[in-house]
C-alpha cells in the first residue's frame, strides 16, 4: 500500500454544521476502497440517516465543498494526494431493505448482494444479477449497473435523492435518463433510497440462479484480489477485454499494478501499488488499444482526488 500523504485538514471541520452523524478529519480513504489505495479525505462525514444528510446539506456554508459520495468504494480510484473538502459515506445506517409483494425498497447504502438476497428470501425474481455486482445500490443506481443481461433500469420504479441544498426529490424512470453505465441526474445530487420491482418466483429457482452467477463471477473474474471491477466501458459493438487482449496488454505491469491475467479488463493492486501506478497503467492500456485498434476506451472506474507529486502525475 502506498504511504498516505499528509492530511489535508485546514480548519474545515470546525466550520461544518452540527449533525447526528460523525465527522472525521484526515480519514484514510485507502481503508474503504477495494483497490486499497489513495490519500485522505479532508473530512469524512457519515450521516446518521437521510434526514441528517439533508440537514447537513441545507445548513452547510456555500463555500464548503462536497467533493465525493462513497458507499464501499468498489468502483472508485482515489488518487494518492487525497480528496479536499467533505467526503460523504453512505453506510449501513442508510442500508435498510424492505421487501413486500414483488417490490424491494432499499436505502442507498445497502449492498447490492444484500438486496439480491432479500429479494430471494421474499421470492422475488429478476434481481439476481445484483448478486454479481460489487458495491452499494446507490452506486448501482448512479451508473445504471448491469450484468448477465439485466441493468438496474429494468427493475427500477422510483428513487429519492437530495439536491445540493438538501431538498428531497422523488424521481421516476422518465426522470432518470438511464443509458449505458450512466444516468442523467446531476452529479451533485445524492441518492438516498430506491424502489425496485421484480416478479413473483420460487425461492429455490432464484437461489439456483444466484449461485450460478456467483460461481461464474469467481471463475471469470479476479474476485480474490484488490481490484475495482471492470476498468473500461464496453464500446458499442465490442468488448473492452477483447480489445485489451488484441493490444497485447494482458499481464502488463506498472509498479504494483497489473492487468489481470484472468480477465484483462480488470486492474489489480498486487499489494504495494499506488493510485498513480493503477491510473498510469490504465492510461497505457488505453493508449495501446487506441494505437492497435483505433478505439478510444472510456474509463468505467471513477477516478477522483488530487495527485501526490512524490508518486507521479495522474491523468485528470
What pLDDT sits at residue 94? 96
| Chain center to CA of 37 | 15
Does pLDDT of 309 surpass 80? no
- Over 80: is that where the pLDDT of 283 sits? yes
Would you state the pLDDT for residue 276?
A: 97
User: Of 120, 133, 276, nearest to 206 (Cα)?
Assistant: 120
Q: Given a cut of 70, is residue 5 above it in pLDDT?
A: no
Distance CA(140)–CA(111), nearest Å, equals 10
Average pLDDT value for residue range 282-306: 97
Report the pLDDT averaged over residues 180-208.
Answer: 97
- Active-site residue 224, yes or no? no
Domain 222-310 -> CATH class? alpha beta
In this structure, are residues 232 and 222 in contact, taking their beta carbons and an 8 Å threshold? no
Write down the pTM of the prediction. 0.90
Is the predicted pLDDT of residue 195 greater than 50, yes or no? yes
Catalytic residue, from 30, 74, 193, 230: name it: 230
Which pLDDT value is given to residue 10?
A: 58
Give the model confidence (pLDDT) of 128-173 as tens digits.
999 999 999 999 999 999 999 999 999 999 999 999 999 999 999 9
The answer to whether residue 315 scores a pLDDT higher than 60 is: no
Mean per-residue pLDDT of the chain = 94
CA–CA distances in Å: residue 111 to residues 131, 189, 254, 268, 275: 9, 20, 31, 22, 25
Please indicate whether residue 230 is annotated as part of the active site.
Answer: yes
| Phi and psi, residue 292, nearest 5° | -85, -40
Does the pLDDT at position 273 exceed 80? Answer: yes
Q: What is the pLDDT of residue 11?
A: 87
Asked whether the CA dihedral 191, 192, 198, 204 is positive or negative, the reply is: positive
Crossing angle between the packed helical segments 112-121 and 203-220, to the nearest 10 degrees: 150
Whole-angstrom Cα distance, residue 296 to residue 109? 33
Q: What pLDDT, on the 0 to 100 scale, is given for residue 316?
A: 37
Residues with Cβ within 8 Å of 42's Cβ and at least 6 positions away in sequence, in order, are 7, 8, 9, 10, 12, 25, 26, 67, 82, 83, 84, 85, 86, 87
Candidate list 59, 164, 181, 287, residue with the active-site label:
181
Which phi and psi (to 5°) does residue 252 adopt? -65, 145
Q: What is the pLDDT of residue 314?
A: 42
Q: Among the options 42, 279, 300, 314, which is catalytic?
A: 300
Domain boundaries, the chain: 12-92, 94-206, 222-310
| pLDDT > 90: percent of the chain | 92
Q: Could you read off the pLDDT of 17-64 as tens digits, one per residue?
A: 999 999 999 999 999 999 999 999 999 999 999 999 999 999 999 999
Sign of the CA dihedral 250, 289, 73, 100? negative
Q: In three state form, how does the secondary structure of 149-208 look? A: CEEHHHCEEEEEEECCCCCEEEEEHHHHCCECCECCCCCCCEEEEEEEECEECCHHHHHH
The architecture CATH gives domain 12-92 = 2-Layer Sandwich (3.30)
Alpha-carbon span 188 to 262, nearest angstrom: 36
Cell of 269: 493492486
Task: Answer yes or no: 202 catalytic.
Answer: no
pLDDT at 312 over 90: no
Give the single-character DSSP code of 122.
Answer: T
* pLDDT computed for residue 262 by the predictor: 96
Output the CATH code of domain 94-206. Answer: 3.30.465.10
pLDDT for 138 equals 97
Is the fold of 94-206 the same as that of 222-310?
no
Residue 6: pLDDT above 50? no
At 308 the pLDDT is 80
55-73 b/e (C-beta count within 10 Å ≥ 16 → b): bbbeebeeebebbbbbbbb
Amino acid at each position: 500500500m502506498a504511504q498516505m500523504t499528509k492530511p489535508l485538514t485546514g480548519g474545515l471541520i470546525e466550520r461544518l454544521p452540527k449533525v447526528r452523524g460523525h465527522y472525521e478529519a484526515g480519514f484514510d480513504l485507502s481503508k474503504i476502497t477495494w483497490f486499497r489505495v489513495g490519500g485522505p479525505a479532508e473530512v469524512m462525514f457519515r450521516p446518521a440517516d437521510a434526514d441528517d444528510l439533508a440537514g447537513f446539506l441545507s445548513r452547510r456554508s456555500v463555500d464548503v465543498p462536497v467533493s465525493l459520495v462513497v458507499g464501499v468504494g468498489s468502483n472508485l480510484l482515489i488518487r494518492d494526494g487525497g480528496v479536499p473538502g467533505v467526503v460523504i459515506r453512505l453506510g449501513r445506517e442508510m442500508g435498510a431493505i424492505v421487501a413486500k409483494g414483488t417490490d424491494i425498497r432499499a436505502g442507498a447504502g445497502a449492498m447490492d448482494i444484500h438486496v439480491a438476497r432479500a429479494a430471494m428470501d421474499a421470492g422475488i425474481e429478476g434481481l439476481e444479477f445484483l448478486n454479481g455486482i460489487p458495491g452499494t445500490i446507490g452506486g448501482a443506481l448512479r451508473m445504471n449497473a448491469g450484468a448477465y443481461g439485466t441493468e438496474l433500469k429494468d427493475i427500477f420504479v422510483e428513487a429519492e435523492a437530495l439536491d445540493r441544498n438538501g431538498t428531497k426529490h422523488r424521481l421516476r424512470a422518465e426522470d432518470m435518463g438511464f443509458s449505458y453505465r450512466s444516468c442523467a441526474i446531476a452529479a451533485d445530487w445524492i441518492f438516498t433510497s430506491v424502489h425496485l420491482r421484480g416478479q413473483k418466483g420460487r425461492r429455490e429457482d432464484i437461489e439456483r440462479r444466484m449461485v450460478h452467477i456467483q460461481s461464474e463471477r469467481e471463475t471469470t473474474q479476479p474476485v480474490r484480489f484488490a481490484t475495482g471491477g471492470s476498468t473500461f466501458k464496453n464500446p458499442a459493438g465490442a468488448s473492452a477485454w477483447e480489445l485489451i487482449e488484441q493490444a497485447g496488454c494482458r499481464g502488463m505491469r506498472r509498479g504494483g499494478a497489473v492487468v489481470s491475467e484472468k480477465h484483462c479488463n480488470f486492474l489489480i493492486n498486487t499489494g504495494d501499488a499506488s493510485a498513480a501506478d493503477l491510473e498510469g497503467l490504465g492510461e497505457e492500456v488505453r493508449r495501446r488499444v487506441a494505437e492497435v485498434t483505433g478505439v478510444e476506451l472510456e474509463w468505467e472506474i471513477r477516478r477522483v482526488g488530487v495527485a501526490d507529486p512524490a508518486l507521479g502525475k495522474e491523468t485528470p
